[in-house]
Amino acid sequence: MPPSALPASLAIDHAASDADISVLPRIFEDEITIAIMTRTLPADIVMSAQAQCTRAWQFSWLGSPDETMHKDLRLRLPSPDAADALIEDVQTLAEAVAYLFDTETVGIRLRHLDQTMCPRFHCDNLPVRLLTTYLGPGSEWLPDTAVDRAGLGAPIPGRPEALTDASAIQRLQLGDVALIKGSGWEGCETRGLVHRSPPMAAGDKRLLLTIDPA
């Protein structure tokens, strides 16, 4: 598969982006803090995701991404009869995380959101996380050149803004699969990826999947 047409992130030296899944292992490179597999969601996954967004709900799982997880997710979804394509994609991504990070246990959260979850730019205090959005706007992230890390954390008097250049904000597109390093990644304690939930207008909906190797 040829490389995708890339946004401004192409020029960001700590970001890797491509339409092929082979880009995801680049997260193991020391300088890379975000690896993005760009993709266009197939219509069946889009329709399956839309069918689940009729009410507020969330699904959490800590364990193996196996048939038990598959069955539990189906039971928790609002429209299980329309869930096949979404469940298969979640399981495929969870299995990929387990394989890539050589673990049998993953932490999965699939959430239907109707408001911004984490509006401030921040860095996760964990080694690595997979993100993808099935409905609504994708997560936003910053190149290192647009971050004042002294501004990270809860707002307090005298603390500067973490964002230094609003024009540099990057956004994952619908369906993109990203692996992001947090401050818990060895050697990345002071340079984990800074990101946030996207702003959402009244009436917006978002279906977000996160997967953490455990």
Tens digits of residue pLDDT in 176-207: 999 999 999 999 999 999 999 998 888 889 99
Sheet with strand 177-181: strands edge to edge: 15-18, 34-37, 177-181, 128-135, 206-213, 106-113, 57-63
The residue to which tokens 């099935």 are assigned? 134
Alpha carbon separation from 204 to 49, 112, 115, 148 (Å, rounded): 14, 11, 7, 30
Where does residue 136 fall: left (phi above 0), alpha (psi -120 to 50 degrees), or beta otherwise?
A: left
CATH class of 38-149+161-213: mainly beta
* Average pLDDT of the residues in 30-48: 97
Report pLDDT for 13.
93
3 falls in which pLDDT band (50, 70, 90)?
A: very low
